A and B are shown apart, each in its own frame.
Chain A
Amino acid sequence: MIRVILPHHLRTLAQVRGEVGLDLEGPATQRSVLDALEARYPMLRGTIRDQVTLQRRPFLRFFACEEDLSHEPPDAPLPDAVASGAEPFVVLGAIAGG
């Protein structure tokens, strides 16, 4: 199971508490994780990725295992620790403005 940590506002929007657990059928990549997340919580469509281009929104970043994965290709495999559920995939809002 993939563990995903969402920022506060998106947890509120999706009405979830704590981490989200997702079961993936194929390899764990940014795209497959976000596809599964949006399939389970459609209200998150457009909030992390643009609905049309599927590009990451500019003020959001992706982290895992203390690494910034924001600029990795969307189909690149995520670290084994994320795929195994040992470490979470973190969606983080930039600390800018307020």
Chain B
Amino acid sequence: MSQVRVLVGTRKGAFILTADGKRQQWDVSGPHFAGWEMYHLKGSPVDPNRIYASQTSGWYGQIIQRSDDGGKTWIQPGTPPGEPPAPGPPKAASNKFVYDTSAETGKPLTTHQFYDGTQHPWEFKRVWHLEPSLTDPDTVYAGIEDAAIFRSTDGGENWHELPGLRGHGTGPKWQPGAGGMCLHTIILDPSSRTPETQRMWIAISAAGAFRTDDGGKTWEPINRGLYSQYIPNPTAEIGHCVHHIAMNPKRPGVLFMQKHWHVMRSDDAGDNWTKISGNLPTDFGFVIDVHAHEPETIYVVPIKSDGEHFVHEGKLRVYRSRTGGNEWEALTKGLPQSNCYVNVLRDAMAVDSLDKCGIYFGTTGGQVYVSGDAGDCWAPIVRDLPGVLSVEVQTLP
């Protein structure tokens, strides 16, 4: 029988939740890296037992961890197998994220726009998102704050920036959102045939969405159709606070976006966006995801407003559209419908690929919920974890 493994990053450690395909009886492992902020964990599609994790701290900086046995044991990449912890990874290169200022970029960037409109130096703070390659378990991308994309081709041991993103021209106009200037979304196009033609989409708060069609060498902003009343020019090429983008890998190029306000879709790989908020009670939110088998079925969790980051009316409701947007239904069975004031952060929803698609999300209140029937009914897997930062799920044979 198939299994699912849910990778949960929280403000105080990581947890791994496993169950068989019924998704009713769960084993909980953790906390791993107790006390550290675990921004994101994600497994390789090629080798599911290889999991990359971003371990971070405002005090102690960034650590990259890797498991090669499904999360049972972890190493900092570069540590020789079976070696004692000291001497450790060679020079801890796996922790080192250095912006590319070489001549290769053509015009190395030194500043971006700060909250007050002045220019500010780029400063590495943390890894928000790790996206393993679809074809090579040793290749993984990292989305970082201050916004840039890095790649490792040796299992996370060494990291190099893809400088074409910051260097393509609009970088000096990027500015941080409330959570910092983070590159939080990386989507790989499974129909790309070679690394040199790998299409990718990324999103930055608060710069917007960008696409590359050449493996990250060159990038262009793809924000036409977005409208953001909170910036001087609401239809500007960049400056939009995109919160998350989702895509069904079986239908590359059809994208769904939860922006600061507004839920959007694009049917042309991001060249144009249209608003699909429809009858949502509020279209502010962070997460968005797509059903694994029904590419027009999408999920969001509306949040009351930009000033009140909790669910609307004290009710935790997932909204589902089976029509690709505009027509939404509230999914409430099994979710608290009174006195609930949690948020669901941008990387904290995932779907499995079992026949009856499972939907998972985690809250800032530490609950992780599962629905084994595409959202009709929900149940908590765990109720009392630290605040959840990210949720990913692996469907295992």
A residues with a Cβ closer than 8 A to B are 7-10, 12-15, 38, 40-48, 50-52, 57, 59-60, 93-94, 97
The residue that A14 contacts in the complex, of B34, B58, B86, with Cβ under 8 A, is: B86
Q: For the A-B complex with A15-B86, A42-B92 known, give 12 more contacts whose Cβ atoms are closer than 8 Å.
A: A13-B60, A14-B86, A41-B86, A43-B63, A43-B85, A45-B95, A47-B61, A51-B92, A51-B96, A52-B98, A57-B59, A60-B60
CA distance A7 to B89 in the complex (A): 20
Decide yes or no whether B353 CB sits under 8 A from chain A.
no
Asked if B58 and A44 sit within 8 Å, CB to CB, the answer is no
A47 contacts which chain B residues (CB < 8 A)? 60-61, 63, 95
Asked if B60 and A45 sit within 8 Å, CB to CB, the answer is no
Decide yes or no whether B82 CB sits under 8 A from chain A.
no
User: Smallest distance from the beta carbon of B179 to chain A beta carbons, Å?
Assistant: 15
CA distance A77 to B90 in the complex (A): 29
Decide yes or no whether B88 CB sits under 8 A from chain A.
yes
The residue that B88 contacts in the complex, of A9, A42, A60, A97, with Cβ under 8 A, is: A42
Asked if B59 and A94 sit within 8 Å, CB to CB, the answer is yes
Asked if B60 and A41 sit within 8 Å, CB to CB, the answer is no
Asked if A46 and B61 sit within 8 Å, CB to CB, the answer is yes
Decide yes or no whether B193 CB sits under 8 A from chain A.
no
A42 contacts which chain B residues (CB < 8 A)? 87-92
B58 contacts which chain A residues (CB < 8 A)? 59, 97
User: Smallest distance from the beta carbon of B145 to chain A beta carbons, Å?
Assistant: 15
CA distance A41 to B63 in the complex (A): 14
B36 contacts which chain A residues (CB < 8 A)? 9
A94 contacts which chain B residues (CB < 8 A)? 59
Asked if A43 and B92 sit within 8 Å, CB to CB, the answer is yes
The residue that B92 contacts in the complex, of A15, A44, A50, A52, with Cβ under 8 A, is: A44
CA distance A59 to B61 in the complex (A): 10
CA distance A46 to B64 in the complex (A): 12
Asked if B35 and A9 sit within 8 Å, CB to CB, the answer is yes
Asked if A46 and B88 sit within 8 Å, CB to CB, the answer is no
Decide yes or no whether B76 CB sits under 8 A from chain A.
yes
Asked if B61 and A57 sit within 8 Å, CB to CB, the answer is yes
A93 contacts which chain B residues (CB < 8 A)? 59-60
Decide yes or no whether B282 CB sits under 8 A from chain A.
no
For A46, the closest partner residue in chain B by CB is B95
User: Smallest distance from the beta carbon of B126 to chain A beta carbons, Å?
Assistant: 12
B34 contacts which chain A residues (CB < 8 A)? 12
List B67-103 residues whose CB lies under 8 Å from chain A: 76, 85-92, 95-96, 98
